[in-house]
Chain A
Amino acid sequence: MADLRNNFVGIKSPNPFWLASAPPTDKAYNVERAFKAGWGGVVWKTLGEEGPPVVNVNGPRYGAIWGADRRLLGLNNIELITDRDLYVNLREMKQVKMNWPDRALIASIMVPCEEEAWKAILPLVEETNADGIELNFGCPHGMSERGMGAAVGQVPEYIEMVVRWCKQYTRMPVITKLTPNITDVRKPARAAKAGGTDAVSLINTINSIVSVDLDNFAPNPTVGGKGTHGGYCGPAVKPIALNMVAEIARDPETYGLPISGIGGVTTWRDAAEFLVLGAGNVQVCTAAMTYGFKIVQEMISGLSDWMDAKGHRNLDDITGRAVPNVTDWQYLNLNYIAKAKIDQDSCIKCGRCHIACEDTSHQAITQFVNGVRHFEVMEDECVGCNLCVNVCPVENCITMEELPAGVMDQRTGKPVDPNYANWTTHPNNPMARQAAE
Chain B
Amino acid sequence: MGTTQSGILGGRLPLADYETNFSDLHPALDRHEALVASDRCYFCHDAPCMTACPTSIDIPLFIRQISTGNPIGSAKTIFDQNILGGMCARVCPTETLCEQACVRNTAEERPVEIGRLQRYATDIAMKENKQFYTRAASSGRRVAVVGAGPAGLACAHRLAVKGHEVVIYDAREKSGGLNEYGIAAYKSVDDFAQSEVDYVLSIGGIEVRNGQALGRDFSLSDLAEQYDAVFLGLGLAGVNALRIEGENAEGVDDAVDFISALRQSKTKADIAVGRRVVVLGGGMTAIDAAVQAKLLGAEEVTICYRRGKEHMNASEFEQDLAASKGVTIRHWLQPKRIALKDDKVAGIELEYTTLVDGKLTTTGETGIIAADQIFKAIGQTFEASGLGSLAFEGGRIVIDAEGKTSLPNVWAGGDCVVGGEDLTVSAVANGRDAAEAINRAFAAAMPRASAVA
Q: Do A and B come from one complex?
A: yes
Chain A residues at the B interface, C-beta cutoff of 8 Å: 69, 71, 267-269, 291-292, 294-295, 297-298, 301-302, 304-306, 309, 394-395
> Is A302 within 8 A of B39, CB to CB?
no
> Is A298 within 8 A of B72, CB to CB?
no
CB distance from A398 to the nearest CB of B (A): 14
- In the complex formed, the residue of B with least CB distance to A298 is B64
> Is B73 within 8 A of A302, CB to CB?
yes
**Chain B, range 61-84, C-beta contacts under 8 Å to A:** 61, 64-65, 68-70, 72-73, 76-77
Task: Collect the chain B residues with CB atoms within 8 Å of residue A395's CB.
Answer: 31-32
Given contacts A305-B70, A306-B70, contact A298 B65 (CB under 8 A): yes
- In the complex formed, the residue of A with least CB distance to B58 is A297
Task: Collect the chain B residues with CB atoms within 8 Å of residue A298's CB.
Answer: 61, 64-65, 68, 70, 73
**Chain B, range 246-263, C-beta contacts under 8 Å to A:** none
A292 in complex: contacting residue of B39, B45, B69, CB < 8 Å: B45
CB distance from A394 to the nearest CB of B (A): 7
Most central of B31, B40, B43 by chain A CB within 10 Å: B43
Identify 20 new A-B residue pairs, CB closer than 8 A, beyond the known A298-B61, A302-B73, A309-B72.
Answer: A71-B39, A267-B68, A268-B68, A292-B43, A292-B45, A298-B64, A298-B68, A298-B70, A298-B73, A301-B65, A301-B73, A301-B76, A302-B68, A302-B69, A302-B70, A305-B72, A306-B70, A394-B32, A395-B31, A395-B32
CB distance from A252 to the nearest CB of B (A): 35
Q: List 25 A-B contacts (CB under 8 A).
A: A69-B40, A71-B39, A267-B68, A268-B68, A269-B69, A291-B43, A292-B45, A294-B45, A294-B61, A298-B65, A298-B68, A298-B73, A301-B65, A301-B70, A301-B76, A302-B65, A302-B68, A302-B69, A304-B73, A305-B72, A305-B73, A306-B70, A309-B72, A394-B32, A395-B32
A269 in complex: contacting residue of B39, B45, B68, B76, CB < 8 Å: B68
Complex: A63 Cα to B65 Cα, angstroms: 27
Task: Collect the chain A residues with CB atoms within 8 Å of residue B77's CB.
Answer: 301
Complex: A301 Cα to B65 Cα, angstroms: 8
**Chain B, range 24-45, C-beta contacts under 8 Å to A:** 31-32, 39-40, 43, 45
Complex: A71 Cα to B72 Cα, angstroms: 24
Complex: A69 Cα to B50 Cα, angstroms: 22
Complex: A394 Cα to B31 Cα, angstroms: 11
- In the complex formed, the residue of A with least CB distance to B76 is A301
Task: Collect the chain B residues with CB atoms within 8 Å of residue A294's CB.
Answer: 45, 61
Task: Collect the chain B residues with CB atoms within 8 Å of residue A292's CB.
Answer: 43, 45
Complex: A328 Cα to B69 Cα, angstroms: 30
Provide the main secondary structure of the chain A interface.
helix
Complex: A301 Cα to B76 Cα, angstroms: 10
Task: Collect the chain B residues with CB atoms within 8 Å of residue A269's CB.
Answer: 68-69
Complex: A302 Cα to B67 Cα, angstroms: 11
Query: Ordered nearest first, which 7 A-B pairs have the shortest CB separation?
Result: A267-B68, A301-B73, A305-B73, A302-B70, A291-B43, A298-B64, A305-B70
- In the complex formed, the residue of B with least CB distance to A290 is B43
Task: Collect the chain A residues with CB atoms within 8 Å of residue B31's CB.
Answer: 395
Task: Collect the chain A residues with CB atoms within 8 Å of residue B70's CB.
Answer: 268, 298, 301-302, 305-306
CB distance from A109 to the nearest CB of B (A): 32
Task: Collect the chain B residues with CB atoms within 8 Å of residue A295's CB.
Answer: 43, 64
> Is B39 within 8 A of A69, CB to CB?
yes
- A interface footprint on B99-130 (CB within 8 Å = 1, 0 otherwise): 00000000000000000000000000000000
Task: Collect the chain B residues with CB atoms within 8 Å of residue A268's CB.
Answer: 68, 70
**Number of residues in B with C-beta < 8 Å to the partner?**
16
CB distance from B30 to the nearest CB of A (A): 10
- In the complex formed, the residue of B with least CB distance to A291 is B43
Task: Collect the chain A residues with CB atoms within 8 Å of residue B45's CB.
Answer: 292, 294
Task: Collect the chain B residues with CB atoms within 8 Å of residue A69's CB.
Answer: 39-40
Task: Collect the chain A residues with CB atoms within 8 Å of residue B61's CB.
Answer: 294, 297-298
Complex: A108 Cα to B32 Cα, angstroms: 42
Complex: A294 Cα to B44 Cα, angstroms: 10
Most central of A71, A291, A298, A309 by chain B CB within 10 Å: A298
Complex: A292 Cα to B77 Cα, angstroms: 18
Complex: A269 Cα to B70 Cα, angstroms: 10
Complex: A64 Cα to B43 Cα, angstroms: 19
CB distance from A270 to the nearest CB of B (A): 9
Task: Collect the chain A residues with CB atoms within 8 Å of residue B43's CB.
Answer: 291-292, 295
- In the complex formed, the residue of B with least CB distance to A308 is B72
CB distance from B34 to the nearest CB of A (A): 12
- In the complex formed, the residue of A with least CB distance to B62 is A298
Complex: A295 Cα to B60 Cα, angstroms: 10
CB distance from B418 to the nearest CB of A (A): 36
CB distance from B81 to the nearest CB of A (A): 14
CB distance from B91 to the nearest CB of A (A): 27
Complex: A418 Cα to B404 Cα, angstroms: 74
Task: Collect the chain A residues with CB atoms within 8 Å of residue B73's CB.
Answer: 298, 301-302, 304-305
Complex: A268 Cα to B61 Cα, angstroms: 13
Most central of A69, A267, A301, A304 by chain B CB within 10 Å: A301
- In the complex formed, the residue of B with least CB distance to A300 is B73
- In the complex formed, the residue of A with least CB distance to B69 is A269
Complex: A395 Cα to B69 Cα, angstroms: 14
- In the complex formed, the residue of A with least CB distance to B71 is A305
Task: Collect the chain B residues with CB atoms within 8 Å of residue A297's CB.
Answer: 61
CB distance from A347 to the nearest CB of B (A): 14
Complex: A304 Cα to B73 Cα, angstroms: 9
- In the complex formed, the residue of B with least CB distance to A292 is B45
Complex: A11 Cα to B25 Cα, angstroms: 54
- In the complex formed, the residue of A with least CB distance to B72 is A305
Complex: A69 Cα to B73 Cα, angstroms: 25
Complex: A310 Cα to B197 Cα, angstroms: 29
- In the complex formed, the residue of B with least CB distance to A267 is B68
Complex: A295 Cα to B43 Cα, angstroms: 9
Task: Collect the chain A residues with CB atoms within 8 Å of residue B39's CB.
Answer: 69, 71
Most central of B40, B73, B76 by chain A CB within 10 Å: B73
Complex: A435 Cα to B439 Cα, angstroms: 78
Task: Collect the chain A residues with CB atoms within 8 Å of residue B65's CB.
Answer: 298, 301-302
Complex: A69 Cα to B112 Cα, angstroms: 13
CB distance from A234 to the nearest CB of B (A): 15
Complex: A395 Cα to B45 Cα, angstroms: 31
Complex: A292 Cα to B44 Cα, angstroms: 9
- In the complex formed, the residue of B with least CB distance to A395 is B32
Complex: A394 Cα to B32 Cα, angstroms: 8
Complex: A309 Cα to B71 Cα, angstroms: 12
Complex: A63 Cα to B32 Cα, angstroms: 31
**Chain B, range 45-66, C-beta contacts under 8 Å to A:** 45, 61, 64-65
CB distance from A262 to the nearest CB of B (A): 19
Most central of A302, A309, A394 by chain B CB within 10 Å: A302
Complex: A301 Cα to B68 Cα, angstroms: 11
Complex: A394 Cα to B69 Cα, angstroms: 17
Complex: A304 Cα to B132 Cα, angstroms: 13
Complex: A268 Cα to B39 Cα, angstroms: 16
- In the complex formed, the residue of A with least CB distance to B70 is A302
Task: Collect the chain A residues with CB atoms within 8 Å of residue B64's CB.
Answer: 295, 298
Task: Collect the chain A residues with CB atoms within 8 Å of residue B40's CB.
Answer: 69
Task: Collect the chain A residues with CB atoms within 8 Å of residue B32's CB.
Answer: 394-395
Complex: A71 Cα to B43 Cα, angstroms: 11
Complex: A189 Cα to B32 Cα, angstroms: 41
Complex: A305 Cα to B62 Cα, angstroms: 13
Complex: A395 Cα to B31 Cα, angstroms: 10
